Structure 1
């Protein structure tokens, strides 16, 4: 036979017939509901303990919780703490007076009561803050206050953002005029800097040797000239560009290679809306050639929807320079370029 454990719910049941053993009755860890279900007993019996402790169950059968300790009278402690706070006590003084060493309880007791003025320590920049507010009230801007006090803009904003904004010094029209004048001065300064940089770079080039011109021409042709492809063999020197300086360098390079001007053919690529005759005269004068030797120009149809920037008297289209009987010349150009690439690749290793 299995005997019930002492304090088990089964020990509260009435002994069965023929069972001679009885056990004391006192509350057990199991829920009251379970005990009442099997053997309803009185509240007096539930609250009777062998150690004489206070009752643990309410009349409805639920376990009671007791507010014990020195913080049980919270309302009285708060009343006393608020009284001390209003009398000018600090938190440490209230703690020592009421013997409350729990910071959480201490702050809850004085919640909502402002600290005394004498407990507030001054901030490191209180003097700057006061000065910033004075300047703001005088109509100073953030930039002026920042420059005057030597502090950050974020600090200035934090100090004076609650103050009214000063009246603007200038009307919107005056502000735009000042801005345009400032931009004009800035652009003039930038233009002067660009001019000085270009002049200095031009002087750095110095005299161009024949070898330097030769290598320059090879690279220039390989960048802007027509090239033969494995799927489209075109072994002919054809060069196209709209920059007059590039055309001059290319013609000087051809002269260095001994290509006579009689072998050169010229053609203009230009929009049909431009002045074709003026473009012919411009390129003929630049190439030192007669305009009558120019081939029929290639005209690009005008598209009104396109917003073009290359218009006006400075627009002359592109000049196509073709060298007649230039298959050998083209192959040599390709070989020269391969040599340049090989030497450059060796320097990269």
Structure 2
């Protein structure tokens, strides 16, 4: 049996389908404007279709909350577009910065290592040392220490510093820093712990790896030389 569907009948069937979808969305608690946007139907039409549907107190409360929420609906789309533009601008600037640094010469690395020690190195107990929580900085400093300053790898000692609340993760943390540094766990000294308990709860505590302290044995002469290297950089600031 052949059924011929006229254009008017097609429009009528489409309207019935849209009305059914609108009623279903309204029963789920969606607002009139949201349904209108989803179905590409005027708000007045949706309002007429759904006028007899009673919302629960919870649904009414949620609609009121959304109406006051600056991040809902089209406003959220606008906020996200601004956020994406900002992220794109940040990526562009980051790429520009990487390009400006370019390939480092041996002297570039040498000077950078001095600056790092000036900022984060140990200076008071006449023992060469450095501490940081950034894996990239740890790698850079060890590369500088071994390749530029010719410190034997066997003379390097590492020590992990952790908050006492992460005491049960010592082995995991030491393994992490051993992989980062390329230094055997056998060259790790006894860890030290911060005794206070954090009040702030971190969202991903398993990504906390504390601070790594680097020491180099039998390097008093190098320690004194680095002090001189830092003084050499200070002369630049003196004009």
TM-score category of the 2 structures, normalised to the smaller one: 0.5 to 0.7
Tell me how far apart the structure 2 counterparts of residues 283 and 219 of structure 1 sit (CA, whole Å): 23
Change (3 A) 1:322 1:283: same
| Superposed displacement of residue 287, structure 1 | 0.7
1:141-199, CA deviations, whole angstroms, 9 ceiling, x for partnerless residues? xxxxxxxxxxxxxxxxxxxxxxxxxxxxx965145213433333322221221122112
Q: Determine if the alignment matches structure 1 residue 246 to structure 2 residue 140.
A: no
**2:174 matched residue in structure 1:** 280
Aligned to 1:313: 206
Residues 45-194 of structure 1: pairs in structure 2 closer than 5 A: 173-174=66-67, 176=69, 177-178=72-73, 179-194=75-90
Higher helix share: 2
**Within the alignment, does 1:298 sit opposite 2:188 as a pair?**
no
1:102-130 CA distance string (max 9 Å, x none): xxxxxxxxxxxxxxxxxxxxxxxxxxxxx
The answer as to 2:157 corresponding to 1:265 is yes
Runs of 4+ aligned structure 1 residues displaced above 6 Å come to none
* Distance in 2 (alpha carbons) for counterparts of 1:315 and 1:235: 30
CA change 1:276–1:260 in 2 (3 A) is same
How many residue pairs match? The answer is 171
Gaps of 5+ in 2: 1-62
Q: Structure 2: how far apart are the matches of 1:309 and 1:303?
A: 12
TM-score (norm 1): 0.46
Question: Is residue 112 of structure 2 the alignment partner of residue 216 of structure 1?
Answer: yes
Structure 2 counterpart SS, 1:266:
strand
The residue aligned with 1:195 is 91
Q: TM-score with structure 2 length normalisation?
A: 0.66
Residue aligning to 2:35: none
Relative contact order, higher structure (CA 8 A, sep 6+):
2
Q: Are 1:235 and 1:326, in contact at CA under 8 Å, matched by a contact in 2?
A: no
Structure-2 change in CA distance of 1:308 and 1:172 (3 Å) = closer
Tell me: CA distance 1:181–1:175, structure 2 relative to 1, closer, same or farther (3 Å): farther
Question: Unaligned 5+ residue runs, structure 1?
Answer: 1-169, 229-233
